[in-house]
Structure 1
């Protein structure tokens, strides 16, 4: 999914430890796609409003691109200059290293209770919450209405129907009947959605990696044989097709269907593509779950300031501010109050997010509470495309990824 508010922190001295004249340094990721809608403006406005009511607290905000923000925070922490707050892609490594405040040490009970429970649960490391969900999205199946009408087909509800639709689209000359981006940019997302669609996932109910489960092997064998092997995924090998390129091709009217998150709505809309969305099909019906993605806010312990951090976050997570951020960037709210407001709103921009919002309560997130997930995700990005390549072995690739995951898990706490 999309991730990142990027704010940086000025390296150097901390604010005083007293209750006044405290400077909070926030590093966040940038969700904008141009300087005009950079997250820097959102955070600067929010900080200015907060400071106007809290004369003893200053909030310094730095925003980095998603390509840089996680690395920037790591460099700051490694140099002994942790920010007070970071809004980035993962929290577990910092929690395992003892560098973060527990969420209960920061947020008011009211704010904690308003966070959506499945997202709060995903913010736990060793059964204690350290990661605060900040923004969320889910995946649905997008389809090009014009291409579907031309082929005389309807959106699929099963894998067999998806394959039949893809064949009908190919017969009409559609370039990418089903776009399958398993390239290194975001292959872990497409992979997870298909694993869920096949009834399994990256882990079992107790958090043990299950990449080599029989269901997962059957899922990738089906993809290899029924879609890729029958030339229904387009001219670019799935292992070389990145998500951004697949989205761009959809917006150019070259893709019949693909899984997408909310940002594709605006991207396709700008190009005038008529599209619809449906839940991702499962093997014989609806998928076990949709894939959910959350980005994370966390408070670092190094400089103290727990009271000021918590008070500022209570403000950040107010219904008004959560809604403003979600609407600005086409993302899903992480609180119950804002979710209710969005789902009952008459705004057209809110209505288009409802298919994604409907999926969120039952969505399944990456195993972000495992400190091994970063290395497992990297291995999936680099290798999963080989599972569907000509001559590739789905079972062999998944078995090797399982070995990587098991080794990474045993070598880390979490």
Structure 2
């Protein structure tokens, strides 16, 4: 979920599959027989290793759909999050758009009139099941083109043993409730003194720099847009936020040996699961990854600059259907994909949050049972702030952030200048 929700990392391998066997990737959107249509689907990989790749989910989904819909074949190409958006862009530019794409942004394609609307694709039941805030975020000029796939919110994870050994918390490892950035800084200094390799991981590498940046901006009282939904990337609170990271976190050697601009989210997660990171911002998928490695951890909201309440960041990943001439078949597949059992199968596999009301209700019930750790993520979802995905310029702005935001926290970095450059380009692409 990349904000990626979510935007999550995976291997770089490209996996091309039909419902039963792996195949080569052919031309997109073709007919395979007199009455048989092949739907070409491009999706992101949410796994962190080959064993939990999203390939298995899509393979099972395609098999179930094909069984229920004779005459429609489904072939899915699964790419890592670091390349899937670019792959779809290349396909569209080459005139070979997939029928369906599950990626991080939709609005630029909607603005170019390349997508079917949700109303043109989905049954009334499916369309009405989306959580309201997520459905609204999928609209361009009041028409929904982006269909939320999964969602996530973010919390601050901390390694209980490392913080206890450093004297930040008691030996029981419980009950830490940092409120302000001063609390974070103090904890990171103690971790550094205890020789923790990375007191606070700050992944501003291109994998998901836009997410890490937005979390900190919101906690600093800013964000990518103002209350009128105009870009405010170069606002005073945002500048102060990045100055804090530059001077207090990076400048004091509290963010570890890897330069933040070169540190990707999954690399930070991997280091956390190895016991090398004291604190970092994480999404629900980190729960399973850390538990699998036996890491004892706690989770709290990211503290804010002054200790006052600020909204959390929410991320949704998006599904869209391109105008390839297969509107009816694509709609059938999407209705099938959004059936509660299929939504649950995916969200449970990766500990993500559902984008549908039925899925949300099921998760709420589960948080008191087999998934209690998801409760704080789920609680934060309705009031969270999402990327400005409805702006057709967002894909380009997000890429600009990925490429440049790491420069702001380097020694001698100039947050005001970098943010002004990103903001100027963003406003030019989205005049109001």
| TM-score after normalising by structure 1 | 0.90
Structure 2 counterpart of 1:14? 30
Do the aligned partners of residues 72 and 283 (structure 1) sit closer, same or farther apart at CA in structure 2, a change above 3 Å counting?
Answer: closer
Of 353, 370, 392, which aligns to 2:374? 353
Q: After superposition, what is the alpha-carbon deviation per residue over 1:153-185, rounded to whole angstroms, capped at 9, x for unaligned?
A: 334122222222222222322222222222333
Structure 1 counterpart of 2:265? 243
Check conservation: 1:22, 1:58, Cα contact below 8 A. Answer: yes
CA distance in 2, matches of 1:229, 1:35: 37
Do the aligned partners of residues 381 and 24 (structure 1) sit closer, same or farther apart at CA in structure 2, a change above 3 Å counting?
Answer: closer
Does 2:395 correspond to 1:374? yes
Structure 1 counterpart of 2:182? 160
CA distance in 2, matches of 1:42, 1:378: 28
Structure 1 counterpart of 2:343? 322
Do the aligned partners of residues 404 and 287 (structure 1) sit closer, same or farther apart at CA in structure 2, a change above 3 Å counting?
Answer: farther
Does 2:406 correspond to 1:385? yes
CA distance in 2, matches of 1:344, 1:284: 34
Please report how far the alpha carbon of residue 189 of structure 1 lies from its aligned counterpart in structure 2 after TM superposition.
1.4
Moved more, 278-287 or 321-330: 278-287
CA distance in 2, matches of 1:378, 1:212: 16
CA distance in 1, matches of 2:28, 2:178: 56
CA distance in 2, matches of 1:12, 1:382: 30
Check conservation: 2:312, 2:380, Cα contact below 8 A. Answer: yes
Do the aligned partners of residues 408 and 24 (structure 1) sit closer, same or farther apart at CA in structure 2, a change above 3 Å counting?
Answer: same
**SS of residue matched to 1:365:** coil
Does 2:258 correspond to 1:258? no
CA distance in 2, matches of 1:42, 1:347: 26
Do the aligned partners of residues 17 and 313 (structure 1) sit closer, same or farther apart at CA in structure 2, a change above 3 Å counting?
Answer: farther
CA RMSD in angstroms, aligned pairs only: 2.6
Of 132, 138, 152, which aligns to 2:147? 132
Structure 1 unmatched runs, 5+: none
Does 2:54 correspond to 1:39? yes
Residues 273-288 of structure 1 mapped to structure 2, 5 A cutoff: 273-285=295-307, 287-288=309-310
Q: What is the number of equivalent residue pairs in this alignment?
A: 409
Structure 1 counterpart of 2:89? 74
Check conservation: 2:304, 2:310, Cα contact below 8 A. Answer: yes
Do the aligned partners of residues 121 and 237 (structure 1) sit closer, same or farther apart at CA in structure 2, a change above 3 Å counting?
Answer: same
Residues 108-147 of structure 1 mapped to structure 2, 5 A cutoff: 108-147=123-162
Of 296, 301, 311, which aligns to 2:323? 301
Do the aligned partners of residues 182 and 27 (structure 1) sit closer, same or farther apart at CA in structure 2, a change above 3 Å counting?
Answer: closer
**SS of residue matched to 1:377:** helix
Of 321, 338, 352, which aligns to 1:331? 352
Does 2:231 correspond to 1:209? yes
Do the aligned partners of residues 346 and 247 (structure 1) sit closer, same or farther apart at CA in structure 2, a change above 3 Å counting?
Answer: closer
**SS of residue matched to 1:25:** strand
Moved more, 130-139 or 55-64: 55-64
Q: After superposition, what is the alpha-carbon deviation per residue over 1:76-123, rounded to whole angstroms, capped at 9, x for unaligned?
A: 333333322221222112111111111111112221221111111221
Moved more, 346-355 or 185-194: 346-355
**SS of residue matched to 2:371:** helix
| TM-score after normalising by structure 2 | 0.86
Check conservation: 1:123, 1:132, Cα contact below 8 A. Answer: yes
Structure 2 counterpart of 1:194? 216
Of 26, 31, 50, which aligns to 2:65? 50
Structure 2 counterpart of 1:365? 386
CA distance in 1, matches of 2:8, 2:57: 15
Q: After superposition, what is the alpha-carbon deviation per residue over 1:185-217, rounded to whole angstroms, capped at 9, x for unaligned?
A: 322111100001011101113321101111112
Check conservation: 1:4, 1:88, Cα contact below 8 A. Answer: no
Of 321, 331, 334, which aligns to 1:313? 334
CA distance in 2, matches of 1:164, 1:43: 45
Check conservation: 1:280, 1:286, Cα contact below 8 A. Answer: no
Check conservation: 1:101, 1:299, Cα contact below 8 A. Answer: yes
CA distance in 2, matches of 1:98, 1:4: 29
Please report how far the alpha carbon of residue 131 of structure 1 lies from its aligned counterpart in structure 2 after TM superposition.
0.7
**SS of residue matched to 2:286:** helix
CA distance in 1, matches of 2:272, 2:254: 15
Please report how far the alpha carbon of residue 286 of structure 1 lies from its aligned counterpart in structure 2 after TM superposition.
5.3
Check conservation: 1:7, 1:27, Cα contact below 8 A. Answer: no
Please report how far the alpha carbon of residue 346 of structure 1 lies from its aligned counterpart in structure 2 after TM superposition.
6.4
Q: After superposition, what is the alpha-carbon deviation per residue over 1:52-93, rounded to whole angstroms, capped at 9, x for unaligned?
A: 222343333333333443333333333333322221222112
Please report how far the alpha carbon of residue 250 of structure 1 lies from its aligned counterpart in structure 2 after TM superposition.
1.4
